[in-house]
Structure 1
Amino acid sequence: MTEADANTQAGEAQQQFIIQKVYLRDASLEIPNAPGIFRSEWRPQVNVELNTEHQALDESAYEVIVTITVTTKLDSKTAYLCEVHLAGIFIIVGFDTRTLDGLLGSYCPTILFPYAREAISDLSNRAGFPGIVLAPVNFDVLYAQKQAEQQQRQASEPQ
């Protein structure tokens, strides 16, 4: 019997992180000003919104969703609006609450983001527009900012 087997039998949970599934949960593309928008000079203003969320599916499985919304305009007219919800199911076992929160809030979105970025680029390209390449995102920084905001809110709440 190995030491790991002995530890598991003794009741100590081993740490596991498994990517069970990565999938496109939802995607939409709107071109409200077609076909006229295709006759305009292509000098877009691009707005990108990013959001992450997660939920427990059971005691060890979690769904994490990265949502990216890209709104591209030419002057005041919307060229296209593209939104992608890229999700993953992750099996996460044996981590303390703080580490689990970090995995769900930062590490998992970091894994999913390249798939979401590719889906956005592909959809915009298939719609007849130049493919958009979104810049990399540092989810560690975003997670740290979110944690700091939560701590600030808790500190300012009356006891």
Structure 2
Amino acid sequence: MAEDISNGAAAPQDQQAQGAQFNVQKIYLKDVSFEAPNAPQIFSEQAQPQLQLNLAQKVNNLGGDAYEVMLTLTLTCTAGDKNAYLVEVTQAGIFTLAGFDARMLDAMLGTQCPNVLFPYARQAISDLVQGGGFPPFFLQPINFDMLYAENLRRRAGQQQVDESQQPPAGNA
């Protein structure tokens, strides 16, 4: 007697029958930068460090169902009025997304792909900060679903503003 041990996950055949496919082809570091402009003096600073994290995402269609997704994380640490370090990591991946309607494709590119890339970017940042002589930095998880929902709200608001600024049809 054979048992199905899938932990509730859809079998690959079920996914193909539904027509939607999501595959990770490659994950790679696209760009890395680390600067400690005030080293070694900054190591003796007693000021409480202030951290600022910026996040950006870019998607390129590589043709057909292949997409390059780039997740850029920029972490700036200041101590007092001096920059302790600046680290920027662009973690990228090539993904195949087939069989999704336009709305679902946008959601997959905006949530699932960054979720796959984030742990790699987090590790790269941690390694660079520690390798630069600073205490380990542990980047907290990011809720890409929430960020995507906020981005959708912003896009909808911008679309309403754009439509309200257009002259009424028929007035020439």
Is the TM value for this pair above 0.5? yes
Is the 1:31–1:79 Cα contact (8 Å) retained in structure 2? yes
The equivalent residue for 1:152 is: 157
Match of 1:37 in 2: 42
Question: How many residues get paired?
Answer: 150
Partner SS for 1:92? strand
- Give the conservation status (yes or no) of the 8 Å contact 2:47–2:80: no
Partners in 2 of 1:26 and 1:89 — Cα distance? 15
Q: Which runs of 4+ in 1 moved over 4 A?
A: none
Gaps of 5+ in 2: 1-12, 167-172
Per the TM alignment, residue 14 of structure 1 is displaced from its structure 2 partner at its CA by 2.5
Alignment partners' CA distance in 2, 1:76 and 1:41: 12
Q: Report the Cα offset of residue 43 of structure 1.
A: 2.5
| Residue 26 (structure 2) pairs with residue 54 (structure 1) | no
Residue by residue over 1:59-108, the C-alpha shift from the partner in whole angstroms, topping out at 9 and shown as x without a partner, is: 11001111100000110100000000000100111110000000001111
2:106 to 95, 101, 105: 101
Give the CA deviation at 1:143.
0.5
Q: Counterpart in 1 of 2:85?
A: 80
Equivalent residue in structure 1 for 2:25, among 20, 24, 29:
20
Give per-residue Cα distances to partners, 1:99-151, cap 9 Å, x unaligned. 00000011110111111111101000000001111111100010011111111
Aligned to 1:139: 144
**Identity fraction in percent:** 47
CA distance in 1 between counterparts of 2:21 and 2:30 reads 25
- For the 8 Å contact 1:13–1:93, the answer to whether it is kept is no
Find the aligned partners of 2:47 and 2:70 in 1 and give their Cα distance: 32
Q: Give TM-score, length-normalised by structure 2.
A: 0.83
Q: Which residue of 2 aligns with 1:121?
A: 126
* Structure 1, unpaired ranges of 5+: none
TM-score, structure 1 as length reference: 0.89
Letter in 2 for 1:32: P
Letter in 1 for 2:68: E
Q: Which amino acid aligns with 2:97?
A: I
Distance 2:40 2:160 in 1: 53
Instruction: Please tell me whether residue 130 in structure 1 is matched to residue 141 in structure 2.
Output: no
Q: Give the whole-Å Cα distance in 1 for the aligned partners of 2:135 and 2:44.
A: 14
Deviation per CA, 1:16-63, whole angstroms, max 9, x where unpaired? 111000111000001110111112236311111111111100111001
SS at structure 2 position matched to 1:22: strand
